[in-house]
Amino acid sequence: MLTEAQVKQFDEQGFIKGGIVLSEEEVEKLREELDQVMAGETLRKPVLNRNMREKPSEYGVSMSSSEKVVQIVNIWMASDSFFRHAQNPVICEDVAQLCRTDTLRIRHDQIQYKPPVTGGPTPWHQDHPAWPIIQPADLISAWVALDDATIENGCMWMVPGSHKWGNQQKYLTSDDQFMPYHKQPELLPERADIHAVPFEIKKGQVGYHHCLTWHGSPHNKSEHKRRAIAVHYMPAHTRYEPEKNHVMLPYVTVSPGELLQGEHFPVVYRRR
Ligand SMILES: O=C(O)CCC(=O)C(=O)O
């Protein structure tokens, strides 16, 4: 359960740090299963297992293949440990509190692994515009570090308050991995202050961010791995509203305008 001050901070800033939610053993187990899924050794497969730097990304930025960011989408479908992780009661209670809902589904989950030295950047973006099949933009992500995520190994950076500035994705550029650039700042609210801050997260700790918060993460030039699992949770009132293609589109079984539900968007939390 988050304190009132934490909820207020999240509402104002669009992100907050939570507590340590995984023991050493739990981190170790998830790392082992991550290795197996990455190597394609599991019977069940995730939706995606790729190097994000090899193809044009969904954020519309050209890529360099000498760098690597392993992205795995829906590792919960390949690994029971990751599915249990998505149901972590502390995380789910916190997210439900921040979303003001009593029911949570998994929209999808995502590993981002930046290997030592060659780990590439993740461009500045907002999540909701990158997932153009859902409304409203009330989703919250729980990002759990499987290694200490530090400035040196490519932790995320966040722009405080940016979740209140609407969909600005097409104006965001990623020339500077530590500070986003907005091509038409006159379109932003008068007092909008584009100033990114590092969001360092300890191994086993969770950080929460709103689906409109501007964020990105730079290279990992350090000698240390940077592994993390983000579960993108949607509150029960989230509807299927397709605008563009998305990797989860083939898994949708409802009609436009209906609540997004079905076996690939499982309920992981109901308040009793
Ligand atoms: O892991 C990262 O560096 C980026 C993850 C991200 O963009 C997200 O969880 O929304």
User: Closest Cα to atom 10, ligand 1: which residue?
Assistant: 127
Best residue among 58, 122, 169, 212 to mutate for probing ligand 1's pocket (most ligand atoms within 8 Å of CB) is 122
147 lines ligand 1 (CB under 6 A): no
Given a contact cutoff of 8 angstroms between Cβ atoms, the answer to whether 49 and 20 are in contact is no
According to the model, what pLDDT value does residue 133 have? 95
- Please work out, in degrees rounded to the nearest 5, the angle formed at the alpha carbon of residue 110 by the alpha carbons of 106 and 114: 165
According to the model, what pLDDT value does residue 56 have? 59
List Cβ<8 Å contacts ≥24 apart for 81-87: 81/29, 81/30, 81/33, 82/30, 82/33, 82/109, 82/229, 85/22, 85/26, 85/30, 85/144, 85/229, 85/231, 86/231, 86/268, 87/268, 87/269
User: Closest Cα to atom 7, ligand 1: which residue?
Assistant: 216
| Ligand 1 centroid from CA 216, angstroms | 7
Q: Which fold has domain 4-270?
A: Jelly Rolls (2.60.120)
According to the model, what pLDDT value does residue 122 have? 94
Amino acid at position 71, single letter:
Q
Given a contact cutoff of 8 angstroms between Cβ atoms, the answer to whether 71 and 48 are in contact is yes
| Percent of the chain whose predicted confidence (pLDDT) is above 90 | 90
According to the model, what pLDDT value does residue 57 have? 56
According to the model, what pLDDT value does residue 30 have? 98
112 lines ligand 1 (CB under 6 A): yes
**DSSP summary character for residue 220:** B
122 lines ligand 1 (CB under 6 A): yes
Low-confidence ranges of the chain (pLDDT < 50): none
**Distance between CA 177 and CA 218 in Å, rounded?**
5
List Cβ<8 Å contacts ≥24 apart for 251-259: 251/47, 252/133
| Ligand 1 centroid from CA 4, angstroms | 26
User: Closest Cα to atom 3, ligand 1: which residue?
Assistant: 217
Ranges of H-type helices in the chain = 4-13, 24-38, 80-86, 89-99, 127-130
238 lines ligand 1 (CB under 6 A): no
According to the model, what pLDDT value does residue 61 have? 52
Best residue among 95, 108, 112 to mutate for probing ligand 1's pocket (most ligand atoms within 8 Å of CB) is 112
**Distance between CA 269 and CA 272 in Å, rounded?**
9
